[in-house]
Amino acid sequence: MRADRLVATLLLMQARGRVTAAELAAELEISVATARRDLEALSAAGVPVYPQPGRGGGWQLVGGARTDLSGLSAREAQALFLLAGPAAAGSPEVKSALRKLMGALPGTFRADAEAAADAVVVDQAGWGEHPKDRPPMVSLLRDAVIARQQVLLTYAGRERSERLVDPWGLVDKDDVWYLVAGTAKGRRTFRVDRIVAATPTGDAADRPSDLELAQVWREVVEEVEQRRSLLSAHVVLDRRYFGVLRGRFGRHCELVAELPGNRVRARVAAPAPIMIAQELAGWGALVDVEDPESVRAELARLGAELVARYAR
């Protein structure tokens, strides 16, 4: 830990030019006495660090000695800090890594990188809710992915079973975590909250050398969406309401044609007629369902039930 702290101290001095023991203590979350001992240790080890006494003094590197990080453009450095900045608030490791990276950046990039790190705040809690904790199983599986070790899963799907998998990567989709893995039957996707137990075996995992997790996940999403949209219906409505309709059906809604009178024909989809009818029933006469007849029949049935109950 002290070695990491000394590196962080050195990089912080490179970034700021001059620091006091109190500033260093606040930044690294240590005592002022520990910060002063670390500065003295760097000086004793031959690092060109020296104190400047008096008002406005502190500790400084002789000659502005510094390291430099090559290979990053200004835009690349900004992108890194923009992505990692929100995570730093809840992760000491990310905060430490950003501090070290900041110290290694060329001085001309540093101001923009610092601005990018504070440009975005991520608040995953809804109004009136507490922040959602990352499932403990995620950390175990993440370590297995990084170490490329096979994992024996106890999985509670339709029935509980054991699966030996090659973990490829983890995906956080709207606070629901998924493990994408290779199995004896090919690629599979597992909901992490249904994994009862996970035991790394110590054996090397088989991971395709050309695997791109983002592309694999796009394929998974496409397959799931296709299964969820086995039935489609054509509807006609005013053009001004199409955005609302698309908001209800998401990617399962597409514009088919522009019609006279500022109206449009759209295609919506869902696994079953009743699911389309339930979404459209509240629209009343604003939407005209052209086909299929199964959806029209479900709408008629829902309407009859409502009339029977509320017409009085």
DSSP 8-state code for residue 241 = G
CA 214/CA 216 separation, integer angstroms: 5
| Alpha-carbon torsion, ordered 270, 225, 135, 119, to 10 deg | -110
Q: What is the pLDDT of residue 56?
A: 63
Q: Are 42 and 10 in contact (CB under 8 A)?
A: yes
CA 200/CA 93 separation, integer angstroms: 24
Q: What is the pLDDT of residue 120?
A: 65
CA 105/CA 81 separation, integer angstroms: 12
Q: Are 103 and 28 in contact (CB under 8 A)?
A: no
Q: What is the pLDDT of residue 98?
A: 73
Q: What is the pLDDT of residue 182?
A: 94
Whether the full predicted model's pTM is greater than 0.85, yes or no, is no
The SS3 assignment for 233 reads strand
CA 231/CA 295 separation, integer angstroms: 10
Contacts of range 156-162, beta carbons closer than 8 Å, 24 or more positions apart = 156/194, 156/195, 156/196, 157/194, 160/196
The SS3 assignment for 155 reads strand
Q: What is the pLDDT of residue 64?
A: 52
Q: Which residue has the tokens 């809840």?
A: 90
Q: Are 180 and 168 in contact (CB under 8 A)?
A: yes
Q: Compute CA distances 201 → 142, 229, 310, whole Å.
A: 14, 39, 62
H helix and E strand count, the chain: 11, 12
Q: Tokens for 195?
A: 């994994």
Q: Which residue has the tokens 């991971």?
A: 207
Measured at the CA of 173, the angle between CA 170 and CA 177, to 5 degrees, comes to 45
Enumerate residues 6+ apart whose C-beta is below 8 A from 282: none
> Which regions of the chain are under pLDDT 70?
1-4, 7, 45, 47, 54-56, 62-74, 76-91, 103-110, 117-126, 131-133, 229
The amino acid occupying position 121 is V
